[in-house]
Amino acid sequence: MIGSIVHLARNLRAGFVLAREGALGLFDPSALPPSARLALRMARLIERRQTEDGAARLSKALTRLGPSYVKFGQFLATRPDIVGVAAARDLERLQDRLPPFPRAQAIATIEAALGRPIDDAFLEFSEPLAAASIAQVHKARIRTPEGEETVAVKVVRPGVREGFARDLQAMRAAARLFERMVPDVRRLKPMEVVETLARSVAVEMDLRLEAAAVSELAENTKGDLDFRVPKPEWDLTARDVLTTTWIDGIRLNDLEAIERAGFDRVALGSTVIQSFLRHAIRDGYFHADMHPGNLFVDAEGRLVAVDFGIMGRLGMKERRFLAEILLGFIRRDYLRVAQVHFEAGYVPPHHSVEDFAQAIRAIGEPIHDRRADEISMAKLLTLLFEITALFDMATRTELVMLQKTMVVVEGVARNLDPKLDMWTTSEPVVREWIERNLGPLGRVEQAGRGLWTLAGVIGDLPELALRAERVLNQMEEVTARGVSLDQESVAAIGRAEARGNRWGVAALWIIAASLMIMLLRGFA
């Protein structure tokens, strides 16, 4: 009870800030029930008079609400299927920057995490260089068998876990209320969105997992001569501390410095695109936050990525899907693009493959009347997902993250080379993967894996038969006896449902009354 009141108070504050900044203008009142429409109209009475559109106001409101909501906004930027394309683009500009916490606190965190004094771990340890909502970065020196080395030390912000836990609980309460009171919102799965954010934040706050991400990406790309990542120092890494090699390089958005250093911007643009596609299609594991602040070019002209808190993963089915649809658009084979959607199970079988191919043609044909440098692969994927929604394609979180990352990657590459031909650049990577995995050699390897799996199933047949017999016996017993509920159980279910509905209606009226009180005070 007390917890519910606390969550309600926090959500009331969040609602007031969103209303005051005008962010509620993004909601469509027609999709809400009458009681919620009334609350929305009352809330919008306290909007500030501003010139920004609703999406810009949403960013401003989330910034006012604090680090947890900034992180939530950045997460929603990867889900245009939920907030819309305009809002997602604005949320990309949210700056996850906070004042740094004192060096002494960072040292205390490091000593507690590593179990030894700071002087035993580092020869030098600087003041903070950059700070965000979850962690901040310091520059340090360590001694290695090869000699002294400069490293970057990422330290988790004190108290960040407790703050995020409180705000996430309030977000869960708000999501449950929306699902209960606004049935149309359920298709957007607000509870699932909050839980996905919670998992993402939990991963970001355990820096051992980020070190593992760096290590996995380094292993995948060890043969790539034009791409590298920093090396984690495992002896100086713990849950709250991550130490990696220091990166000296030029940020990819510093075009003047890149030209002064004599690097080829056209070649760099191609490297950005091909590296991303290799990671996504070849390895099934990609950096999902490849904005210019996380990408450098080193002294040898190699692309270097940093900050691995957000990573994307694709299974073999998703990799094949991406490769085949890109190649299908390159070859204008729209029927094959449609068939890939059906083969992957993304579009329900009751739809017509030919009708779906016709819809895809409406996306593909216009791009072939333009110059190559005018064609946006990311925009094409965005339009593709919009079309697939008409054919009941369920939202695939991993594909949405992939598409959103491609938007950012394409922007970085086009900034380096405005005339970049996306299709010519990407075709070698896509074609090589398809030939390697879907050609004769790939078929042989798939057959070998299938035989190995079949052998395992045959070995498990006796145990599977025993399990099946037990399940059949239980089903026969249930069929014979039936499943019954006594009157007390039925009554208890009814009371619980009624109590939940009363709380939901009461919460809406409390929100409306609170906003009215705030409004009257504002005009007093």
Average pLDDT value for residue range 277-285:
92
Distances (CA, A) of 436 to 216, 317, 366, 424, 439: 22, 15, 31, 19, 6
Residue 444 scores a pLDDT above 60: no
Give the pLDDT confidence score for residue 138 in this predicted structure. 96
Which is the catalytic residue, given 289, 307, 333, 417? 289
Tokens of 478: 């249930």
Q: First-to-last CA distance in the chain?
A: 33
Reported as a pLDDT band with limits 50, 70 and 90, residue 280 is very high
> 457: burial class by Cβ within 10 Å (0-12, 13-18, 19+)?
exposed
Give the pLDDT confidence score for residue 132 in this predicted structure. 83
For 51, which DSSP code?
A: S
SS3 250: strand
Tokens of 364: 């593909």
**274: how many CB neighbours lie within 10 A of its CB?**
19
- Give per-residue pLDDT as tens, 307-329: 898 888 888 888 888 888 888 88
- Give per-residue pLDDT as tens, 475-487: 777 666 665 555 6
Average pLDDT value for residue range 291-296:
87
Task: Show Cβ contacts of residue 271 under 8 Å, excluding neighbours closer than 6 positions.
Answer: 226, 227, 303
Active site residue 289: yes
Nearest CA to 208 out of 243, 251, 169 is that of 243
Round to whole Å and give the CA distance between 141 and 326. 45
Average pLDDT value for residue range 282-286:
93
Q: Which residue has the higher pLDDT, 42 or 341?
A: 341
Cβ proximity of 324 and 434 under 8 Å: yes
Tokens of 323: 């490769």
Residue 503 scores a pLDDT above 70: no
For 351, which DSSP code?
A: S
Round to whole Å and give the CA distance between 26 and 11. 18
- Give per-residue pLDDT as tens, 363-377: 877 766 665 566 666
Round to whole Å and give the CA distance between 430 and 365. 20
SS3 244: strand
Residue 523 scores a pLDDT above 50: no
**Among 241-250, 300-309, 378-387, where is mean pLDDT lowest?**
378-387
Q: How far is CA 318 from the centre of its chain?
A: 16
Round to whole Å and give the CA distance between 378 and 402. 10
DSSP 269-322: HHHHHHHHHIIIIIISEEES---GGGEEE-TTS-EEE---SSEEE--HHHHHHH
Residue 348 scores a pLDDT above 90: no
